[in-house]
Amino acid sequence: MRPTALFVLLLTLFVLGCSTGPDEQAMATEPGDPGTEVDESDLIRSYDQIPIAPAEPTVVHTDEEWREILSGDQYHILRDHGTEPPYSGELLDNDQPGVYRCAGCDHALFSSQSKYDSGTGWPSYYEPIDDDAVGTAEDHSLGTFRVEVHCGQCAGHLGHVFPDGPAPTGLRYCINSLAMTFDAED
């Protein structure tokens, strides 16, 4: 393979980033209470089962204000829909109890109770902390269909949701570490 073609292939794989599925070990994992029975037929297993519910921002700033609030890398992810490199985020291996919040507006997004190791290189959760935590939108970038996840309060880009997660939902919210902060439980 020519070096240029190899570079394009590697760049494409990097840009697709979080769209890679979880490894077999992660799929065998079922977060939640031990002994909880889940009807496998209730799990979301295709994109057409993921509800599209765009975020309606209540926290709004100008582009200049966002640049003052966020670091350059956070701005790239939250406002420009970027993606951090896999296995680079400091929240990936965090296993403390607590709440993950939007780095842009401090809105509660995910509980540590729904976090699991998907094997993809990004923090993954099987459900948001509540119904208003996140919004979703169709993403047709990169020539493929995905479902993008946004903060329910400021509409900042967080990552994507995939229909290959564990019980109890069947969803994998694949979220950039830089899009979040973490509040440890006391």
Whether 105 is a known active-site residue: answer no
Could you say which of 102, 151, 154, 174 is catalytic?
Answer: 174
Give the up-direction half-sphere exposure of residue 186: CA atoms within 13 A in the CB hemisphere.
0
Helix (H, G, I), strand (E, B) or coil at 100: strand
Query: Is the Cβ–Cβ distance between 152 and 107 less than 8 Å?
Result: yes
Q: Report the distance separating Cα 35 and Cα 169, nearest Å.
A: 16
- Which residues carry out catalysis? 174
